[in-house]
Amino acid sequence: MKSFGVCCLAVVASASISWSQEASQNEKYGPNAAVAFELAHRGSVEHSGELLCYPEARGIAWSETEHFVEMTSSLWTPESIVADFNRRMAQLPPAERKRGILVVLKTERCAPKWLRACTVTTAALEKRSTPLAAEFQLYGVWLKPRDNDVPAGSLKIETGADAWKNDAAGQFHFQQGPGATLAFLNPHTGATILRTDATKVDLFEKPFLAAHGQTPKLHQLLADVLRQLPETEN
């Protein structure tokens, strides 16, 4: 992706993904559920050819999700996230415990534009467009847009009670433009295993809708991270 500030694009024909099973419209999880969740936040008005082609669109708030833990001033450092993760997992039966930690940083500025990468990323993970999403405890923070924030975190636009978000942007190397930042942490040490952006794994609206919510690049990414995680002790 070379540019993100362009008008609405038409959705292309669907792609067949061998690893994904067709989901029913009433299914809680899966590709169809992810698409329905994403489109529910797009609105019914579309102005093709305009920059803000979905004027009624809104981003997905963390309060609308079940599986994201919203980050706070006391829950944003790798150390605090690992401690929270371990506390949560200790309360679950071994069979229900997550294996990894995924931190998502987003601004949702592209929600009314054709890209909609932050919304698509949230929907795909929350509704488990790939079943591997269930293997990760999700943490999320909603930032103000951070144009020209170089190095990441140096732009002190978050103030007052939200000032910690500047440091979080720096900690996880948030970059404005290519959609949400995805940072995978080692659940024992808090070290970053891998960091990427939404558009690198096709988590934006055109390929997402064209494939009916199937996300093969996200699936492969999660599989690669799982192979790097230490074995869990049940």
Give the pLDDT band of residue 90 (cuts 50, 70, 90).
very high
Region 115-140: mean pLDDT is: 98
Q: What is the DSSP string of 1-61?
A: -----------------TT-PPPPTT-SSSHHHHHHHHHTTT-S---TTSSS--TT-----
Region 94-113: mean pLDDT is: 97
Whether 1 has a pLDDT exceeding 60, the answer reads no
Alpha-carbon distance 75 to 165, whole Å? 11
Each residue's pLDDT tens digit, 159-179:
999 999 999 999 999 999 999
Q: For residue 18, what are its two tokens?
A: 């061998």
Class of domain 31-228: alpha beta
More confident position, 66 or 14: 66
Let me know: does 217 contact 223? Beta carbons within 8 Å.
no
Region 184-197: mean pLDDT is: 97
Give the pLDDT band of residue 26 (cuts 50, 70, 90).
low
Peptide linkage before 78 cis (omega within 30 of 0):
no
Whether 102 has a pLDDT exceeding 90, the answer reads yes
Whether 27 has a pLDDT exceeding 90, the answer reads no
Query: Model-level pTM?
Result: 0.89
Residue 34, classified by CB atoms within 10 Å of its CB into exposed (0-12), middle (13-18) or buried (19+), is buried
